[in-house]
Chain A
Amino acid sequence: MDFALPEELRALQRTVRSFAQREIAPIAAELDREPRFPWPSLRAMGALGLLGLTTPEADGGAGLGSLAAAVLLEEIAAADASHATIMSVTSGLPQALLVRHATPAQRARWLPRLASGEWIGAFCLSEPHAGSDAAAIRTRARRVADGFELSGTKAWVTGGGEAHLYLVLAATDAGAGARGISAFVVERDQAGISFGAPEAKLGQHAAITTEVRLDACFVPLEQRLGTEGQGLVMALQALDGARIGIAAQSVGIGRAAFDAALAYADERQAFGVSVREFQGVGFPLADMATRLEAARLLTLRAAWLMDRGRRVTKEASMAKLFASEAAAFVTDAALQVFGGYGYSREYPVERYFRDARVTRIYEGTSEIQRVVIGRQLYRDRDRAEAPGREAGA
């Protein structure tokens, strides 16, 4: 068992850390106050290969594995959570789905542009009335000559209006529930797609979130991805990998808050000593460090298993659940270490606190992760007892 990152991965990490700290961290506070989709820094990330991490080199990506993606996503998140969310979505969902399910023509049409960051990809599953209950979506894809016509409203779309490519889940067979949903690619300039105003959110302001409205939006047959009726299955499978991304993001935000608290507890004086001398400050720092370390290990192990071709539904959910809860704990505890200054916008901890909060919600709430893990525990047990039975079937 070797817990050390391979040297070539550490070389990637060093470069991305220095890039993130020099180019992204300095603009994070301003992007929080005056939200805008951070195109210039996204372009710079694209040039490095950070927006197509796991997309094969032949398709214009960096051709890295999940382990590398998790390590590098942590670095971006430690500089700014919004950049990490955009990065995680564009490479973890639309690109991951295209890499797995696209025809050669579809690959050639979309992957190079997405992997280079020229285009950003968005993922449209949630709807105003249905998030956790994904099979209950109401967006319809009606079969017409040469294609489909999509109608419905998608909610909470990261990158809405800014992204060029929308991976949309819609019901092709309304009566078939989870097995009646298909995946489509819609481009931003197609007729029939429009966007709501950016949602006013607690945090992650630069990762613009909007509604996406589909109004009899015609999508040619060549823009359906994968087999009809398999859309939700494909999406849930992609979410396994994407959840590892959110786990890594959570670790990154938590790390930034922890590092700030560690430095501040050393510098801040009270009662004639550094506040770190008080057990009431030292113990929370110990707990923060411990939970971050555990979260990182769960995350990297899930990624490592995924690189070995394993289905990681349970491990990804465990990592996402634990890491997002750890990020919430760590950012809250860091804010406390800062005292009144923690509550002030002059210091970054209140932003980390706000940015971290949503990691417990998107890509499956903490409650849903527990549902997934709980179900998977029995699947794993039954599979162990009855070898040969398909997992997840």
Chain B
Amino acid sequence: MTIVTIVKQVPEAEARVRVQGGALDLAGATFVLDGMDEYGVEQALRLREAGEASEIVAVGYGPRETEQALRTALAMGADRAVLLEASGLDDPLTVALALAEVVREAGADLVLVGGKQADWDSAALGPALAEALGWPHVDWATAFTLSGQAFESVHEIDDGSETLRGSLPLVVTTQQGLNEPRYPTLPNIMKANRKPLDVRPAATEESRSAARSYAVVERERRRVVLEGDASSAASELVRRLRDEAKVLG
């Protein structure tokens, strides 16, 4: 059984991001494999270690630099990678159509993809990909197991958690809590450079949607650091919540 794990490259969470002339300037930022996707890669590896999968293919969509994130997935243990190279700011529906092609071609029965993407936060790619494939999807998985074609998935809901059972094929969106992703070992990072990584232009298939423009919306955080020992800081916090923010009665 083949698992496709979708991988995106995003700025590191602590990266300094500048806005210049209405656009993001990411020149100084370090890019990493999206943390939410990383849970998917890790889960794929665990499913393979449990004997439920034979091949893991990491698939990325984006600029050439996405190769770095794919190499990370390969270093963690994916067998091969495919990069659909695209330079534009494509919307999730368009991206999903292109990715679906690769999923079919790989003959995969399971797709793991981050619940949200650390940069766009759209939470749309997973469901859109399921739609493009005509497969069911379960979202925000915090536990996921397979037994042959049968899956069991858990996710949190407002008043507890929900367990879903069914059978493959399936798209799963992953999130924090699903697992603790491993660090790739140094020898595996070196070996990742020799694993197959197939780069091809993203198909320019007709999509039903297109992003017309993007704008940066800046929002200043009102960050206050309360000084002093724990008890005086706590009193000050209560005072502010009550008198200033008026969220306490």
Contacts and interface: CB of A to CB of B under 8 A. Distances in A.
A and B interact physically: yes
A318 interface: no
Nearest to B12: A18
Contact of A57 (B30, B187, B189, B193): B187
A14 B68 CA distance: 11
Interface in A1-46: 8, 11-12, 14-16, 18-19
Contacts of A14: 30, 32
A48 B32 contact: no
B68 A63 contact: no
Given A8-B193, A62-B186, 16 more contacts: A8-B190, A11-B68, A14-B30, A15-B75, A15-B184, A18-B32, A47-B183, A48-B184, A53-B186, A57-B187, A62-B185, A62-B187, A63-B187, A63-B190, A64-B186, A72-B186
Nearest to A49: B186
Please classify the interface of chain A as helix (H, G, I), strand (E, B), loop, or mixed, using the class held by over half of its residues: helix
Contact of B75 (A11, A16, A19, A64): A11
A391 B75 CA distance: 42
Nearest to B182: A47
Interface residues of B, number: 15
A376 to B, nearest CB: 32
B68 A49 contact: no
Q: Is the interface of B mostly helix, strand, loop or mixed?
A: helix
Contacts of A19: 183
B116 interface: no
Interface of A: 8, 11-12, 14-16, 18-19, 47-50, 53, 57, 62-64, 72
A16 to B, nearest CB: 8
Nearest to A62: B186
Contact of A12 (B30, B32, B68, B189): B189
Nearest to B71: A11
A47 B71 contact: no
Contacts of A49: 185-187
A54 to B, nearest CB: 11
Contact of A11 (B30, B185, B189): B189
In order of increasing CB-CB distance, the 6 nearest A-B pairs are A49-B186, A62-B186, A49-B185, A19-B183, A48-B185, A8-B193
